[in-house]
Amino acid sequence: MADGSSRSLLAPAREYTKNQSAWRGQRSTYKLPTLIFTFLTLLVACIIASIFILLRSHEHPVGSWAIRPSILLSVLAGIYPIALSGLFTAGVAVVWWRSITHGTTLKTLHYINAGASPKDIPGAFLAGGHARRVALGALVVFAAKLTIGPFLQQATKPELRDITRDITMSIRIASEIPDGAFGTVSAFQPQGIGIQQDTFFGYNLTVKDGAQFHCPGNGTCEGNVTAAGINFVCSSESAPFDLFDPGENFSTVFSIDMELQPETSPPQLLFDSTYISAVDDNCIGTLTTTNCNIILATMLYPVRIRNGILRPNFTHVFHNPTTAIVKNYTSAGDAEMENPKAFMGPLRGALEAVGMIYRTKAHLIQRQIDGIDVVGYNFMTEDRSAPFWANMFLNTSLLGDPGRAEFIRRCPLVWYSPVEYVMTVVLALMFRTAYALSPELTGNQTFDAVYSGEELWNITDFGWLAASVAVMVCGIIATMLLLWGWWQLDHYTSLSPLETGKVFGAPILTNAGPEQEARAIIREIGHERVAHDGDELVWNGTVYATGVAATTRNARDPFSDDHRLSSLDTRMSAQSSLRGKGHRRGMSSVSDSSPSQARPSFEHSLGVTTRRPYDDEAELDSGQYGRPRSRSRGSDAIPMLPLSLSPVSGGSPQLPPIPPTGTIRMEAFGPTPRPRKGSRGEFDPLAGGKRPLSKIEERGSPSP
């Protein structure tokens, strides 16, 4: 605190236009409760939002959330500490102001403010009840901010589960195949050849652009899709067949054939198959003949989708044709017989793509080997036939039965039925053709499917949820306990240096009048320039001594020369404030040759400087440095009047009277110090190397 003489040094920075008697200062009583309510609302909202997210996401698929719950919880874990810090800061200010209002010590006030910092928490515990309350609240707040993020992350975790649920999917596929999809009557076109190749080699049906039937995750989706197909009716006949009957030699024992009948209405595709389905130990076989009549139809195909691959179940359609048929339809291209350039119909295309590949015939061969009668078969080499299919469908599983040695040795001629296989190939050809057509010829079909498989789900750990809520509530309680009694304060408070300096009666803040809030103080005197060299403060052309010099060397002998000089400096500063004009401030250094030791100093117009005249007693004895001097701009040099350093009537040394008018220019007792080159700012040669305070730029950090 400054004494009375220091207070008298401060002259007003400007003329006030306010009526001092009516100036009561602003009181923002609504700001603090608004601030508390805002932060408290944010904190409670974070708790409610965390609970809602954790409860809502429990046992729900991870993919059902556009933003994962863990990310949302991370955002809340970031907002909560920010709001809690704001509420805690307001609570510390309330404790500080309530403490000073009711009376306390400077130590307590210091540790109330410092107790919010981890390094000063031990000292705050020993400084009294108010500081201890702040330290305890700081520990709880630190713990809450440190643990809330990990606790919320532990409260939710993904888990793989086997699930089954209904989903809606979409596919683009044609319900009817138009004429020309395979080419013309006389030529198979590239598109038809490509579909034939895909069907024969069994390539996968993959997701097309725009199709939305990609099954999520690694699960399987099953549903029914309407697409182009065939309606067919098959009949079978069986008859005994003696393999060693001479009359049966060279008769047909296995055949596959397809033929188009365009003259019927509607046109039909005929499928015939002959094969020996069974043989007993006496080599008496069963010859089975199957005939199928095929027309065009729209069918319902069971499909399975997994990892973007579509697999229709043609076997199910073959065994349940009546339930799979949606409707029949006809094609004009299938009835065309004479015009070779006419578009090929779907049935004719199936004949060209499948019938010609599977057409085959094998006949019976009777012979003797080592005197034993045996039978076999040979391929017929008729036009456009594939003889190897008799080998492909031969039932070789019976050849490994040791109980039928005679059968194996004499008549091992049993075939699988080729009907199902060939008919499913025809169905696959129709389905692939409907799927391969351009989007202009297909419709976007929506169908229901059942999803089954493993899926990543969000699982909430309610123990960690309870711990997270408890931590957040404890943090709020700790800060609200600091805010208790805020309604007793008559204005909005903070720990701004302007507010705390004003309450301690800092002379530099007296021009703010009755204003107590930082913003109001800034509005009144925020434009004022100040500077500090580590020992003294210069403000408004006035040296405000902090008393550092008087408590060092001069404390030994109150009547020493140093003590007299210090008293002289203080008295001269007191006299200068009465004039209020002619003050200069600047920057100088201790030594021109040692820039690293440079420190700021400011000069008063009456010869008082914030720099000690001699920092070293040896310098005083050797006369290395002269006494600082001061100049006033635009005036003639007037030597400083002799000073009487002897106390008058036991008082402090007195300054000589100052002329009431005119401008004073003062010379120092010693040689004039040369201004140091390279110093920052502009130097006035009349200012003795000092930089005026008005030219000191505000910086983010101090600089020499």
Range of the domain at 500: 1-26+494-528
> Does 536 lie in the same domain as 503?
no
> Does 550 lie in the same domain as 516?
no
Q: How confident is the model at residue 313 (pLDDT cuts 50, 70, 90)?
A: very high
> Does 341 lie in the same domain as 299?
yes
pLDDT at 235: 94
Phi, psi for residue 662 in degrees, rounded to 5: 90, 170
pLDDT tens digits along 314-343:
999 999 988 899 999 999 999 887 888 899
Better-scored residue on pLDDT, 542 or 81: 81
DSSP 433: H
Residues 6+ apart with CB under 8 A from 331: 177, 178, 179, 267, 296, 345, 346, 347
Q: Which of 55-64, 218-227, 422-431, 576-585 has the lowest mean pLDDT?
A: 576-585
pLDDT over 80 at 631, yes or no: no
pLDDT over 70 at 519, yes or no: yes
Better-scored residue on pLDDT, 212 or 297: 297
pLDDT tens digits along 228-243:
999 999 999 999 999 9
Cα dihedral 195/199/205/210 (nearest 10): 20
> Does 36 lie in the same domain as 147?
yes
Tell me the CA end-to-end span of the chain in Å, nearest whole number. 27
> Does 520 lie in the same domain as 533?
no
* Residue 608 forms part of a structural domain: yes
> Does 598 lie in the same domain as 465?
no
Query: What is the rounded average pLDDT of the residues 466-490?
Result: 90
pLDDT over 70 at 632, yes or no: no
Token digits of residue 65: 């959330």
> Does 116 lie in the same domain as 53?
yes
Better-scored residue on pLDDT, 455 or 91: 91
pLDDT at 521: 85
> Does 150 lie in the same domain as 179?
no
pLDDT over 90 at 536, yes or no: no
How many structural domains are present in the chain?
A: 4
> Does 259 lie in the same domain as 177?
yes
Residues 6+ apart with CB under 8 A from 467: 151, 155
Q: How confident is the model at residue 299 (pLDDT cuts 50, 70, 90)?
A: very high
pLDDT at 658: 44
> Does 515 lie in the same domain as 481?
no
**Alpha carbons 124 and 35: distance in angstroms, whole number:** 26
> Does 571 lie in the same domain as 425?
no
| Ordered DSSP codes for 246-273 | GGGTT-EEEEEEEEEETTSSS-EEEEEE
Check if the beta carbon of residue 268 is closer than 8 Å to that of residue 291. Answer: no
* Residue 534 forms part of a structural domain: yes
Query: What is the rounded average pLDDT of the residues 559-564?
Result: 44
* Residue 160 forms part of a structural domain: no
pLDDT at 440: 74
DSSP 149: H
SS3 592: coil
**Alpha carbons 644 and 647: distance in angstroms, whole number:** 8
pLDDT over 90 at 26, yes or no: no
pLDDT over 70 at 22, yes or no: no
Phi, psi for residue 160 in degrees, rounded to 5: -80, 135
pLDDT at 178: 92
pLDDT over 60 at 130, yes or no: yes
Better-scored residue on pLDDT, 591 or 83: 83
Q: Report percent pLDDT > 90 for the chain.
A: 32
Q: How confident is the model at residue 384 (pLDDT cuts 50, 70, 90)?
A: low
* Residue 257 forms part of a structural domain: yes
Reported in sequence order, the residue ranges of 309-370 that DSSP labels E, i.e. its strands, are 309-312, 325-328, 360-369
**Which amino acid is it at 278?**
A
At 456, which helix (H) or strand (E)? strand 443-460
pLDDT over 90 at 403, yes or no: no
Average pLDDT taken over every residue of the chain: 75
pLDDT at 351: 92
**Alpha carbons 615 and 535: distance in angstroms, whole number:** 13
**Alpha carbons 32 and 98: distance in angstroms, whole number:** 14
Give one word for 521, left, alpha or beta, with left for phi > 0 and alpha for psi -120 to 50: alpha
Give the pTM. 0.56
> Does 102 lie in the same domain as 9?
no
pLDDT at 540: 63
